[in-house]
Amino acid sequence: MDHNNRGTLRLVLEEGGPGVCTFAINNACNARCGFCNFALDKLPREDWVYVSRQGALDALDILYAQGIRYLVITGGEPTMHPDLGVIVKRGADLDMKVMLVTNGGLLRPERIRDLVTAGISSFIISIDAATVESHERNRGLPGVCEKIREANRQLKELKIHATASVTMSRLVDYEALPGFLESLGFTSVTFSYPLRQLGSSFLGYSDSPLVDFTNEELDAAFERIKRLKKRFLVLNPTPSLEEMQRFVKHETQRFPCLGGFQYFHLDWHLMLWRCHYWEKPMCSIYEFDGSQRIRDGCTRCMIDCYRDSSVMQYIGVSVHDAYQAVRAGKLGQAAKALARPANLGSLRAILEELPWLLRF
């Protein structure tokens, strides 16, 4: 069986769909965000680590062989990595959809052209607030908003989409946000759910008052995001936002996370984790052969990149389960997989996000 050239339908039937990996290629960062421990004034420079070029290329080959078709490159600040373009090109050459998460501080015109030529499919650019002053003060990056505005202008000409990524913090004015994002050239936004503690090597969290909310405040914030959908393209599916509201209310979850099964986190040491939240890595990327995959119905955390995607891929996993049951002659089990109540919520999420998904 050729595992290196499987189409989407085959991946759905065999594994539940194409996989996703968030690859943190370095822990260095040039910003000073108040709600992040990658911050320049929190992580000493002597502790900065950059993944090696060869290690990164090896990792992408291994991930592709294991069904990963979506690669999200992050850091730290990944544009600080000298081999970013080479890494992007390898992913694109493997026919992965390669997305880049960045604060935009180093997005100069020639760098953008080089990354687009290498094969970037889209950019995810961090925005913290609804005013230039508030955003740049938190980032510690004077002038970054104008760089982002210019980057979006160039990306539009190159027909590359950029999405604003907004962490749910006390800096966010949800009512004013759409107008500010439009002024920067964005047409879509995704919200990152606030994180105060993580067990993995990933440092994108902080026990900061900026992200210290009561469950009632979080529930209200999710409700504001749902209302925002009437004014702006929000990429967090409504069924996922509703799931997060159940999470903060300690209610039964309907969509188990696929972290460790279809979604993975790879760090700058080339250690593979089931997600950012988990305390122990699964294995070195060089040991990853698929046998380490975990599917245990976990709903421990509310990390958006895993939980949102899991809602949308739930239906694909149900089709996978039904197909495997039919192959084993268990027709009743197959019917049950296709009749799961949460399948409708998953389909609803996919249909809601279809305009954005079709861009890929």
Q: Provide the pLDDT for residue 1.
A: 34
Residue 230 contacts by C-beta under 8 Å, 6 or more apart in sequence?
Answer: none
On whether residue 209 sits in a domain, the answer given is yes
Share of the chain above pLDDT 90, in %: 81
Q: For residue 358, tell me if it sits in a domain.
A: no
Lowest mean pLDDT among 173-177, 207-211, 215-219, 253-257: 207-211
pLDDT attached to residue 8: 72
Least confident window among 4-8, 53-57, 232-236: 4-8
pLDDT tens-place string over residues 152-190:
999 999 999 999 999 999 999 999 999 999 999 999 999
Confidence of residue 353 (pLDDT cuts 50, 70, 90): confident
CATH number at residue 228: 3.20.20.70
**What are 138-158's pLDDT values in tens digits?**
999 999 999 999 999 999 999
Q: What angle do CA 93, 95, 115 make, to 5 degrees?
A: 55
Q: Which amino acid is at 21?
A: C
**Which pTM value belongs to this model?**
0.92
Distance CA 118, CA 91 (A): 9
User: Does residue 105 form part of some domain?
Assistant: yes
316 found inside a domain: no
Tokens encoding 193:
């759910």
Tokens, residue 6: 């499987």
- Specify the DSSP class assigned to residue 200: S
Coil, strand or helix: which one is 98? strand
Question: What integer pLDDT is reported at residue 39 of this predicted model?
Answer: 86
Q: Please check whether residue 277 lies inside any domain of the structure.
A: yes
Domain count, the chain: 1
Q: Is residue 200 part of a domain?
A: yes
In a domain, 11, yes or no: no
Q: What is the pLDDT of residue 271?
A: 98
Indicate whether 260 pLDDT > 70.
yes
pLDDT digits (tens, 9 = 90+) for 295-323: 999 999 999 889 999 999 999 999 999 99
- CB-CB neighbours of 96 under 10 Å: 22
> Measured between alpha carbons, how far is 305 from 255 in angstroms, rounded to an integer?
14
Using alpha carbons only, what angle is made at residue 122 by residues 359 and 289, rounded to the nearest 5 degrees? 95
Asked, for residue 91, whether it belongs to a domain, the answer is yes
End-to-end Cα distance, the chain: 27
Q: Is the pLDDT of residue 195 over 90?
A: no
Residue with tokens 């996919």: 350
Q: Which of these, 199, 197, 126, 131, lies nearest to 167 by C-alpha position?
A: 126
Name the pairing type of β-strands 283-284 and 271-273.
antiparallel
Q: Which residues pair with 234 in a beta bridge?
A: 189
pLDDT value of position 5: 62
Tell me which residue range forms the domain holding 203.
18-302
Count Cα atoms within 13 angstroms, Cβ side, for 205: 18
